[in-house]
């Protein structure tokens, strides 16, 4: 029916593609960092409380060099630059060295309060040496981050050594690189794939078929995502690469089987019918097991990971639809270049396949022992895997964002922005502020951090008490309590009337009347390894607990009684952990569901075991190699175990289908293995070679997770090829020594 109706099927494919080409343009991107966490993740409530209580919008830090910053001319330059930034749509507030809350004259050298305020805001609005300015741009709640960040970049680029940093910048640049990669690397990888397929089969027609299947699948998948209301995220940026793997692997088996039929003198139409009959079941089950493996991500508590699982599962089944709609029509359209040819030197591949099988037949115990030692030794490297908490390392060192962070880290001491939220009384008094001073003194003391995994004190600490101390006399603190509180109250009222300073540090939770909170702002280096960063965050939280910054006795309105450490710095440090939390559970579910599907497909537990063993081990080896190389787990590698399980088992299904067909046809185990090795083994070799070469384009990505993902998938594919050509026949010889399939 597929061959007979091929023209109508091809017309339907063209019509669907036309619709999808328009619809896929409406794909939206989820750029929210909060959505990268499970809804019940404990890091979210403090962060949301911080944002709503202190109106803490997303912040972009615009920094530039100015050797004469604290002069009238320097402050005028800062003021002029800030005025341009404030005019940008999406910016709510700009705070900088020009923004002294008692007027710009306070920062002039002749003013006696000048040095005090310079020291107070050092590390936030300027460097300690006074040669670098930092303009803190607070974005409006509903701002278009992409447009706003690009507008800020256009302005700050005019300043000497102007750079940008902040979580919105990293997210915007990450998506910018991904979109650029999607176009540039997509064409490069497609070209490489085409060249490899031409080299393998010397046929332009059979280059068009797999590329058409890949492109059709990717476009239609994106259109379906729009229809389902799913949005792309950084996690789902690898969707196109995964669809390519599934599609190319399937089409390679079609090409090899079609070529084998043509070599026996059958017509093109008859050869395609034979190919469809022989491959319908294995292609269907390969796509289904891919989808089941990807669907294991649906158990994740992280919404973008669940969406990614649904996207990839959908894409795997759309590959099946693409094969049905496109392959018959394209394979038999016209008379030109109808047959895929043998590649130059393919006889060497024949010899290699024969040699590998003979090796298994002659030395099964040595192969098993060597495989066990090699796999065991390499897999142990997975114990060395560590999480990448420095989000800037998701970008190449020579990228604009990485160089910007290096500039800020070296001049301002730290680009990591985070906060402590403390329960506070309904009215601030001298006693409470003295406790805050004591807490901040400990946070600034390097000795408080000695012995905590190499962590160091935050590079800057700032709160309302620092501002008050900066504009009042030291002797006020030792004045009688009533006088101190009177002056304090008047000072707070004066600050409230002239700026948003008080609201930024001390405010009432709008969602809980009567609950007041106090905020301490922190700065720390962003470019720390996981152990140092987690130790620093943990130690700051420990100091807060030790100081017991509690609300006054009897105040029952507060939702917590000790300080909470939060902010983007904390969220970014926890980001990969949030994705990894379910990694091994998803891997186990993927392996179990795929094994069950294969057992159902072949009605044999022995075959299910034979399929899974050689494909799960190479994944552990790939992760082990990653660990031995000292590479860290980032967004691109966090889900690789679950995803690769579905990808690696495809070739095994084709191999097992041919093996059992021959076995049930009366051939012995050795003959059945030889047939499967030369047929499915040849196709999987071509597919692996083409895909590994195609993925080589990903190493040119500017987004490091894309590089890591491509490298790990290539490793998993190579490991799967090794497993299917050596371990799979080894397992089959052991399981089917009697030459019969018991069906159990």
Domain limits for position 60:
52-171
Flag whether pLDDT at 70 surpasses 90: no
Q: What percent of the chain has pLDDT over 70?
A: 90
**Is 374 in the same domain as 505?**
no
Give the mean model confidence (pLDDT) for residues 187-207: 81
Q: How far apart, in whole angstroms, are the C-alpha atoms of residue 282 and residue 546?
A: 63
Q: Specify the pLDDT at position 474.
A: 53
Tens digits of per-residue pLDDT, 251-270?
A: 888 988 898 888 888 998 99
Flag whether pLDDT at 546 surpasses 90: no
> Rounded to the nearest 5°, which phi and psi values hold at 143?
-70, 145
Flag whether pLDDT at 740 surpasses 70: no
Q: Specify the pLDDT at position 718.
A: 87
pTM of the predicted structure, to 2 decimals: 0.81
Q: Give the CA count within 13 Å in the CB-facing half-sphere of 111.
A: 19
Q: Specify the pLDDT at position 472.
A: 61
Residue 473's pLDDT band, with cuts at 50, 70 and 90, is: low
**Structural domain includes residue 609:** yes
Give strand pairing partners of 136. Answer: 61, 95
Q: Could you give the angle at which helices 605-628 and 650-664 cross, rounded to 10 degrees? A: 150
Q: How far apart, in whole angstroms, are the C-alpha atoms of residue 539 and residue 537?
A: 6
Average pLDDT value for the chain: 83
**Is 234 in the same domain as 304?**
yes
Residue 174's pLDDT band, with cuts at 50, 70 and 90, is: confident
Q: Specify the pLDDT at position 551.
A: 46
**Is 668 in the same domain as 520?**
no
Give the mean model confidence (pLDDT) for residues 208-230: 91
Bigger pLDDT: 345 vs 514: 514
Q: Specify the pLDDT at position 83.
A: 92
Flag whether pLDDT at 324 surpasses 80: yes
Indicate the range of 15-24, 29-38, 286-295, 535-544 predicted with least confidence. 29-38
**Is 477 in the same domain as 490?**
yes
Flag whether pLDDT at 490 surpasses 50: yes
Buried b (16+ CB within 10 A) or exposed e, 304-323: bbbbbbbbbbbbbbbbbbbb
Bigger pLDDT: 150 vs 398: 150
Indicate the range of 34-48, 273-287, 556-570 predicted with least confidence. 556-570
Indicate the range of 55-59, 101-105, 523-527, 727-731 predicted with least confidence. 101-105
For Cα atoms 85, 87, 88, give the angle at the middle one, nearest 5 degrees: 70
Closest to 678 in 3D by CA, of 449, 412, 353: 353
Q: Show which of 562, 577, 592 is a domain's final residue.
A: 577
CATH number for the domain that contains residue 103: 3.30.70
Flag whether pLDDT at 521 surpasses 80: yes
Q: Could you give the angle at which helices 205-228 and 167-201 cross, rounded to 10 degrees? A: 150
Outline where DSSP puts E strands in 456-502. 460-462
**Is 372 in the same domain as 244?**
no
Closest to 510 in 3D by CA, of 44, 143, 49: 49
**Structural domain includes residue 37:** no
**Is 467 in the same domain as 568?**
yes
Q: Specify the pLDDT at position 319.
A: 94
Q: Bin 233: left if φ > 0, else alpha if -120 < ψ < 50, else beta.
A: beta
Q: Specify the pLDDT at position 631.
A: 84
Tens digits of per-residue pLDDT, 78-123?
A: 889 999 999 999 898 888 887 755 455 555 555 666 677 777 788 8
Tens digits of per-residue pLDDT, 443-467?
A: 999 888 887 766 788 988 988 888 7
Bigger pLDDT: 500 vs 661: 661
Flag whether pLDDT at 215 surpasses 60: yes
**Is 714 in the same domain as 565?**
no
**Is 588 in the same domain as 522?**
no
Indicate the range of 225-239, 255-269, 335-349, 487-501 predicted with least confidence. 487-501
**Structural domain includes residue 154:** yes
Q: How far apart, in whole angstroms, are the C-alpha atoms of residue 387 and residue 533?
A: 11
Q: Specify the pLDDT at position 15.
A: 96
Flag whether pLDDT at 314 surpasses 90: yes
CATH number for the domain that contains residue 596: 1.20.1640.10
Give the mean model confidence (pLDDT) for residues 46-50: 90
For Cα atoms 445, 449, 451, give the angle at the middle one, nearest 5 degrees: 145
Closest to 728 in 3D by CA, of 355, 368, 376: 368
**Structural domain includes residue 542:** yes
Q: Show which of 577, 598, 625 is a domain's final residue.
A: 577
Indicate the range of 76-85, 151-160, 712-721 predicted with least confidence. 712-721
Give the mean model confidence (pLDDT) for residues 133-154: 87
Q: Specify the pLDDT at position 341.
A: 79
**Is 742 in the same domain as 595?**
yes
* Cβ proximity of 241 and 698 under 8 Å: yes
**Is 432 in the same domain as 527?**
yes
Flag whether pLDDT at 280 surpasses 90: yes
> Rounded to the nearest 5°, which phi and psi values hold at 63?
-120, 150
For 711, the token pair is 């490298």
Q: What percent of the chain has pLDDT over 90?
A: 21
**Structural domain includes residue 192:** no
Q: How far apart, in whole angstroms, are the C-alpha atoms of residue 376 and residue 380?
A: 6
Q: Bin 229: left if φ > 0, else alpha if -120 < ψ < 50, else beta.
A: left
* Cβ proximity of 424 and 439 under 8 Å: no
CA distances from 245 to 119, 239, 346, 614 (A): 57, 10, 23, 19
Most trustworthy range by pLDDT among 33-42, 582-591, 658-667: 658-667
Q: How many domains does the chain have?
A: 4
Q: Specify the pLDDT at position 7.
A: 93
Q: Specify the pLDDT at position 501.
A: 60
Q: Show which of 523, 547, 577 is a domain's final residue.
A: 577
Total residues belonging to the chain: 744
**Is 251 in the same domain as 270?**
yes
* Cβ proximity of 728 and 655 under 8 Å: yes
Q: Specify the pLDDT at position 106.
A: 52
Give the mean model confidence (pLDDT) for residues 416-425: 88
Q: Specify the pLDDT at position 442.
A: 92
**Structural domain includes residue 158:** yes
Q: How many CB atoms lie within 10 A of CB 528?
A: 22
**Structural domain includes residue 392:** no
**Structural domain includes residue 607:** yes
**Is 680 in the same domain as 592?**
yes
Give the mean model confidence (pLDDT) for residues 152-181: 86
């Amino acid at each position: 029916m597929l061959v007979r109706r091929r023209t109508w099927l091809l017309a339907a494919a063209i019509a669907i593609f036309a619709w999808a080409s328009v619809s896929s343009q409406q794909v939206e991107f989820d750029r929210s960092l909060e959505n990268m966490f499970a809804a019940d993740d404990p890091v979210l409530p403090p962060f949301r409380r911080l944002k709503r209580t202190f109106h803490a919008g997303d912040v972009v830090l615009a920094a530039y060099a100015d050797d004469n910053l604290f002069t009238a001319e320097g402050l005028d330059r800062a003021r002029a630059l800030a005025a341009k930034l404030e005019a940008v749509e999406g910016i709510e507030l700009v705070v900088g060295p020009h923004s002294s809350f008692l007027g710009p004259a306070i920062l002039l050298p002749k003013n006696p309060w000048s040095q005090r305020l310079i020291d107070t805001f050092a590390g936030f609005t300027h460097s300690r040496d006074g040669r670098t300015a930092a303009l803190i741009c607070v974005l409006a709640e509903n701002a278009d981050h992409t447009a706003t960040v690009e507008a800020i970049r256009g302005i700050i680029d005019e300043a000497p050594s102007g750079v940008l940093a902040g979580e919105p910048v990293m997210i915007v640049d990450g998506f910018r690189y991904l979109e650029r990669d999607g176009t540039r690397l997509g064409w490069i990888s497609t070209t490489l794939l085409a060249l490899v397929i031409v080299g393998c089969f010397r046929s332009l027609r059979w280059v068009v078929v797999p590329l058409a299947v890949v492109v059709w699948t990717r476009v239609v998948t994106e259109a379906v995502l729009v229809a389902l209301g799913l949005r792309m995220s950084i996690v789902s940026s690898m969707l196109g690469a995964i669809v390519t793997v599934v599609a190319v692997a399937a089409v390679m088996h079609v090409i090899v089987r079609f070529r084998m039929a043509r070599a026996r003198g059958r017509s093109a139409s008859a050869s395609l019918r034979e190919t469809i009959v022989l491959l319908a079941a294995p292609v269907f089950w390969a796509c289904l097991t891919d989808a089941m493996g990807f669907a294991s991500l649906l158990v994740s508590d992280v919404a973008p990971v669940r969406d990614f699982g649904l996207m990839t599962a959908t894409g795997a089944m759309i590959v099946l639809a693409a094969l049905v709609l496109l392959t018959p029509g394209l394979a038999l359209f016209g008379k030109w270049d109808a047959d895929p040819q043998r590649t130059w030197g393919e006889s060497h591949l024949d010899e290699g396949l024969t040699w590998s099988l003979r090796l298994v037949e002659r030395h099964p115990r040595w192969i098993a022992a060597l495989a066990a030692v090699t796999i065991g030794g390499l897999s142990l490297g997975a114990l060395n895997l560590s999480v990448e908490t420095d989000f800037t390392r998701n970008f190449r060192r020579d990228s604009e964002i990485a160089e910007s962070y290096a500039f800020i880290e070296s001049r301002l001491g730290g680009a990591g922005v985070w906060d402590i939220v403390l329960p506070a009384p309904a009215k601030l008094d001298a006693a409470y502020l003295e406790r805050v001073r004591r807490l901040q003194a400990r946070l600034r003391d390097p000795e408080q951090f000695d012995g905590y995994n190499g962590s160091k004190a935050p590079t800057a600490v700032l709160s309302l008490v620092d501002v008050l101390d900066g504009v009042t006399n030291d002797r006020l603190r030792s004045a009688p309590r009533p006088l101190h509180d009177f002056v304090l109250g008047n000072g707070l009222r004066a600050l409230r009337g002239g700026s948003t300073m008080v609201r930024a540090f001390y405010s009432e939770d709008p969602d809980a009347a009567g609950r007041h909170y106090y905020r301490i702002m922190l700065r720390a280096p962003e470019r720390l390894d996981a152990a140092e960063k987690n130790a620093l965050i943990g130690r700051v939280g420990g100091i807060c607990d030790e100081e017991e910054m509690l609300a006054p006795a009897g105040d029952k309105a507060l939702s917590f009684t000790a300080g909470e450490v939060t902010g983007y710095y904390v969220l970014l440090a926890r980001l990969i952990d949030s994705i990894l939390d379910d990694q091994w559970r998803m891997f186990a579910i993927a392996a179990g569901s795929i094994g069950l599907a294969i057992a159902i497909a072949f009605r044999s537990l022995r075959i299910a075991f034979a399929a899974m063993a050689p494909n799960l081990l190479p994944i552990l080896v790939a992760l082990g190699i990653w660990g031995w190389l000292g590479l860290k787990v980032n967004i691109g590698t966090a889900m690789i175990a679950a995803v690769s399980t579905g990808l690696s088992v495809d070739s095994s299904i084709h191999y097992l289908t041919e093996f059992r067909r021959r076995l049930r046809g009366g051939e012995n185990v050795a003959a059945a293995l030889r047939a499967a090795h030369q047929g499915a083994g040849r196709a999987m070799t071509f597919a692996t070679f083409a895909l590994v070469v195609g993925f080589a384009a990903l190493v040119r990505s500017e987004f490091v997770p894309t590089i890591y993902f491509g490298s790990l998938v290539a490793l998993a594919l190579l490991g799967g090829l090794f497993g299917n050509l050596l371990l799979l026949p080894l397992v089959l010889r052991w399981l089917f020594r009697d030459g019969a399939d018991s069906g159990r």
